[in-house]
Structure 1
Amino acid sequence: MSACFFYGAFAAKAVFVCSRRMTGWLLPLAGGTLVVTIVVVWYTSALWFLDGFHVPGF
């Protein structure tokens, strides 16, 4: 699921870069979403690894 969200955020950012009709605040928003997605995936992967390959919280 996180890979699909990452791909969607990346594709949206690419569309915003290529489009000239988008407003100026959409590109930083798309970039921030992409960075947050990468950080969340990285953090949850680290928790999963450090928890001995169990789902955190269960």
Structure 2
Amino acid sequence: MDPEEATKTEAVETYKAYWLEMQKLYADSTGKKANLKRYAASSALTSAEPGSTGLFPE
């Protein structure tokens, strides 16, 4: 596989995995079942974590 195509494929797979983790997070109000740190960083992770105004406002 062409290196550029391999990079695109990896990016798409990571994106899909992120949204699977987000589904776990939405399903669990404690937010403990999701492993978002594996797929997100910086503001994407901060806004998705429980307690942020992104998903679970306190």
Q: TM-score, normalised by structure 2?
A: 0.50
Higher helix share: 1
Q: Which has the higher contact order (CA 8 A, sep 6+)?
A: 1
- Could you say which structure has the larger radius of gyration? 1
Q: TM-score, normalised by structure 1?
A: 0.50
